[in-house]
């Protein structure tokens, strides 16, 4: 990995030296970043931001959103299940709860657990682009943009269009999608339905995922009204997902989402959103099915095996599944305008987070029957969040200055201020130096606060964790090239993690005193015009932590990617035939307890190579992909084996007029 680091730094230096006398038009500056308080050209962002565009998505080797983030975003994706079944997204060494997930600018982190953050009713093909922000971003987005965040922006179609696709492959894999764009009077509509399923690559890794999504837009004389509704149904075998001690796990999730937005104005711009998201989660530690465990009376049995836990007093039988229902509802409004002082924005938001459960929360006076089960919701928790943010962007000659603050209030944890400043200066037409410092907080999830299980013990007195992230670096903008190199430092306080002091103890949620994380990152993106290579790029990051485990076994906080290298390229082979490649080389810090040997085991270096061949003919596209082309056996999370070589072939049809 040291040789890779030296090679990348040398490559960046060569590019920088050749850019000194370049005076060609900068084209990449036209990309607008819409997630920030003041939407601005990409080149005026004075912190590390990655944009995954539509062309990259369409030609990607990815089969799910998490794969896309791994390839193009340089994110640390820790997968338990394949093809988007369940993955944790970690940014800059942060945990899976520390990154903010937005869809069309709406914050949609799941308050139960970050494991559900990517359970959004959005199919890969419905995405126009993704914006990824590295580093604390509390002054823009309020709570939970702790180590970074991402905004998934969905696409719409202003013309009548029909899209059909089907694919199949190993392990009984099948995927199909139908999308139709149409106009009714003045209403522009797009409806899509997608299904994806597999028998699984090993025992208890089967899955079935259905996504429904509908968008309606109406242009008014003085603005734009947009309505979105979506639903997702996902069931999957969860072999050893949360503990290898009980491998026959299963989870079923249903997610519903709806939002309405209105925007208007030219000199003074106003935008507001109203939204609601519900996530229903049924977790089965012992999978209930005719081929697994069947409930007989008050116990679950599988032939002669009774589901339960061995205790000194004998077998304690498994009582039943965990049920959770989380609701996130809110409204926000923002005003943006330009003056002699630059671009100014004011944003106000309210969000309610609620859970009812038979495991998480505080005991209710009255129980609620759980439909399609024989259980009851017995616990609940409700909390309110209010955030007010003001941000100012000043662009003066070669100087970019962005500063602001958010004031966040939660009725359980009180008030927190998150100030921040980003500065950038163009030392030449094409080269920019930048520095930033921002504050952020992250609220404990309901799992952090309340989960009690056979191997876990939560702490209801947890405090929010806070961070100050600083960054400095240099960026290059030239024609179809953009590149950046930066160093960063995150000072974390009261970091929330699940820890244990010996291998035989329970995992306990706790606030660590501090966790200081620092590192460097490099990215290079190149879009070629009418060349053999259509586009390509690379990303590399090196991260380390200033705190050693000191005898504490950490479940998440110390298991970051120390080295993360990603390379991707799309090129032509013959007329109408192209190929996309992606390569990831990853070395994870930390270790896990190997269930088979009971030994502390270091993570190995993962090398993953993916290939996709694409043939286009009129309205049709034929494709063949090979995931994990080298057939490597690897783990993103200890004891949860990932699939080897997976071959998939598909066909797409597009008709528009």
The 10s digit of each residue's pLDDT in 21-42 is: 433 333 444 567 777 666 777 8
Q: What pLDDT is recorded for position 547?
A: 62
Q: What pLDDT is recorded for position 559?
A: 84
Q: What pLDDT is recorded for position 530?
A: 67
The pLDDT of 411-427, averaged and rounded, is 97
Q: What pLDDT is recorded for position 28?
A: 41
d(CA 289, CA 300): 10
Whether 122 and 154 have beta carbons less than 8 Å apart is answered as yes
The answer, yes or no, to whether residue 552 has pLDDT greater than 80, is no
Give the position of tokens 């139960």: 112
Choose among 112, 165, 120, 460: nearest CA to 282.
112
pLDDT (tens digit per residue) in 105-121: 999 999 999 999 999 99
Q: Assign 550 a pLDDT band (cuts: 50, 70, 90).
A: low
Q: What pLDDT is recorded for position 19?
A: 38
Q: What pLDDT is recorded for position 26?
A: 34
Q: What pLDDT is recorded for position 37?
A: 66
Quick one: how far is CA 127 from the chain centroid? 13
Q: What pLDDT is recorded for position 102?
A: 95
pLDDT (tens digit per residue) in 436-470: 999 999 999 999 999 987 778 999 999 999 999 99
The answer, yes or no, to whether residue 2 has pLDDT greater than 70, is no
Q: At 446, which helix (H) or strand (E)?
A: helix 446-450
Q: What pLDDT is recorded for position 549?
A: 52
Percent of the chain past pLDDT 90, that is, above it, reads 77
Q: What pLDDT is recorded for position 6?
A: 44
Percent of the chain past pLDDT 70, that is, above it, reads 94
Beta pairing, strands 148-154 & 99-103: parallel
The pLDDT of 297-302, averaged and rounded, is 93
Q: Assign 171 a pLDDT band (cuts: 50, 70, 90).
A: very high
The answer, yes or no, to whether residue 20 has pLDDT greater than 60, is no
The answer, yes or no, to whether residue 280 has pLDDT greater than 50, is yes
The pLDDT of 606-622, averaged and rounded, is 96
Q: What pLDDT is recorded for position 479?
A: 84
Q: Assign 8 a pLDDT band (cuts: 50, 70, 90).
A: very low
How does DSSP assign 178-235, residue by residue? EEEEEEETTEEEEEEEEEEEE--SSTT--EEEEEEEEEEEEEETTEEEEEEEEEEEEE
* pTM to 2 decimal places: 0.91
Q: What pLDDT is recorded for position 420?
A: 96
Q: Assign 289 a pLDDT band (cuts: 50, 70, 90).
A: very high
Q: What pLDDT is recorded for position 9?
A: 41
The pLDDT of 640-645, averaged and rounded, is 95
Collapsing DSSP to helix, strand or coil, 528 comes out as coil
Q: What pLDDT is recorded for position 44?
A: 84
pLDDT (tens digit per residue) in 342-379: 999 999 999 999 999 999 999 999 999 999 888 899 99
Residues 6+ apart with CB under 8 A from 554: 497, 498, 499, 590
d(CA 438, CA 47): 10
Lowest mean pLDDT among 14-18, 271-275, 478-482, 535-539: 14-18
CA dist 162 to 60, 192, 654, Å? Answer: 21, 10, 6
The answer, yes or no, to whether residue 484 has pLDDT greater than 90, is yes
Q: What pLDDT is recorded for position 31?
A: 66
Lowest mean pLDDT among 39-53, 131-145, 468-482, 602-616: 39-53
Listed ranges 30-39, 429-438, 511-520; the one with the highest mean pLDDT: 429-438
Whether 148 and 140 have beta carbons less than 8 Å apart is answered as no
Residues 6+ apart with CB under 8 A from 41: 29, 30, 31, 32, 33
d(CA 261, CA 121): 17
d(CA 222, CA 185): 18
Q: What pLDDT is recorded for position 29?
A: 43
The answer, yes or no, to whether residue 472 has pLDDT greater than 70, is yes
Domains and CATH numbers, the chain: 2-285+321-656 (2.40.170.20)
Mean pLDDT for the chain overall: 90
d(CA 610, CA 47): 30
């Amino acid at each position: 990995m040291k040789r890779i680091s030296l090679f990348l730094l040398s490559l960046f230096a060569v590019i920088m030296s050749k850019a000194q006398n370049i005076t060609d038009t900068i084209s990449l500056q036209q990309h607008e970043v819409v997630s920030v308080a003041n939407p601005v050209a990409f080149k005026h962002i004075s912190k590390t931001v990655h944009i995954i565009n539509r062309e990259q998505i369409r030609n990607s080797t990815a089969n799910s959103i998490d794969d896309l983030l791994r390839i193009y975003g340089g994110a640390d994706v820790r997968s338990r299940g394949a093809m988007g079944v369940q993955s944790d997204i970690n940014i800059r060494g942060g945990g899976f709860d520390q990154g903010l997930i937005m869809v069309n600018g709406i914050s949609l982190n799941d308050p139960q657990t970050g494991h559900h953050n990517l359970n959004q009713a959005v199919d890969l093909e419905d995405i126009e682009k993704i914006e990824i922000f590295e580093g604390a971003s509390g002054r823009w987005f309020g709570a939970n943009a702790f180590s970074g965040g991402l905004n998934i922006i969905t696409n719409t179609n202003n013309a009548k269009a029909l899209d059909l696709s089907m694919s199949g492959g190993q392990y009984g894999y099948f995927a199909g999608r139908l999308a139709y764009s149409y106009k009714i009077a003045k209403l522009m509509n797009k409806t899509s339905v997608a299904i994806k399923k597999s028998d699984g690559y090993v025992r208890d890794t089967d899955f079935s995922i259905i996504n429904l999504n509908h968008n309606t837009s109406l242009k008014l004389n003085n603005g734009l009204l947009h309505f979105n509704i979506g639903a997702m149904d996902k069931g999957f075998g969860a072999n050893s997902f949360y503990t290898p001690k009980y491998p026959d796990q299963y989870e079923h999730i249903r997610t519903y989402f709806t939002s309405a937005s209105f925007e208007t104005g030219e000199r003074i711009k106003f935008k507001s959103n109203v939204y609601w998201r519900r996530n229903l989660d049924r977790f089965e530690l012992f999978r209930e099915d005719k081929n697994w465990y069947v409930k007989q009376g008050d116990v679950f049995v599988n032939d002669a095996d009774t589901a339960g836990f061995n205790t000194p007093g004998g077998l304690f039988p498994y009582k039943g599944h965990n049920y959770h229902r989380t609701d996130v509802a809110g409204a926000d409004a923002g005003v943006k305008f330009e003056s002699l002082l630059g671009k100014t924005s004011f944003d106000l938001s309210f969000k309610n987070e609620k859970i009812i459960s038979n495991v998480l929360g505080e005991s209710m006076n009255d129980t609620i029957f759980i439909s399609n089960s024989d259980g009851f919701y017995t616990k609940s928790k409700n909390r309110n969040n209010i955030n007010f943010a003001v941000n100012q962007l000043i662009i003066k000659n070669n100087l970019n200055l962005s500063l602001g603050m958010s004031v966040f209030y939660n009725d359980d944890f009180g008030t927190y201020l998150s100030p921040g400043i980003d500065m950038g200066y163009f030392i030449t037409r094409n080269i920019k130096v930048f520095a930033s410092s921002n504050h952020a907080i992250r609220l404990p999830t309901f799992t952090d606060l309340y989960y009690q299980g056979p191997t876990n013990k939560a702490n209801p007195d947890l405090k929010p964790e806070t961070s100050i992230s600083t960054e400095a670096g240099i960026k290059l903008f030239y024609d179809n090239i953009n590149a950046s190199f930066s160093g960063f430092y995150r000072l974390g306080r009261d970091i929330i993690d699940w820890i244990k002091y010996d291998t035989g103890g329970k995992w306990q949620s706790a606030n660590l005193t501090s966790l200081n994380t620092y590192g460097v990152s490099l990215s290079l993106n190149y879009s070629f015009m009418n060349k053999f290579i259509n586009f390509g790029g690379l990303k590399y990051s090196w991260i380390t932590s200033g705190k050693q485990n000191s005898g504490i076994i950490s479940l998440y906080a110390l298991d970051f990617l120390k080295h993360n290298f990603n390379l991707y390229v799309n090129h032509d082979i013959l007329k109408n035939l192209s190929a996309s490649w992606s390569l990831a080389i990853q070395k994870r810090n930390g270790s896990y307890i190997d269930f088979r040997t009971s030994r502390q085991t270091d993570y190995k270096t993962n090398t993953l190579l993916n290939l996709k061949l694409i043939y286009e003919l009129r309205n049709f596209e034929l494709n063949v992909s090979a995931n994990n082309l080298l057939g490597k056996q690897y783990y993103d999370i200890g004891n949860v084996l990932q699939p080897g070589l997976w071959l998939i072939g598909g066909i797409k049809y597009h008709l528009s007029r």
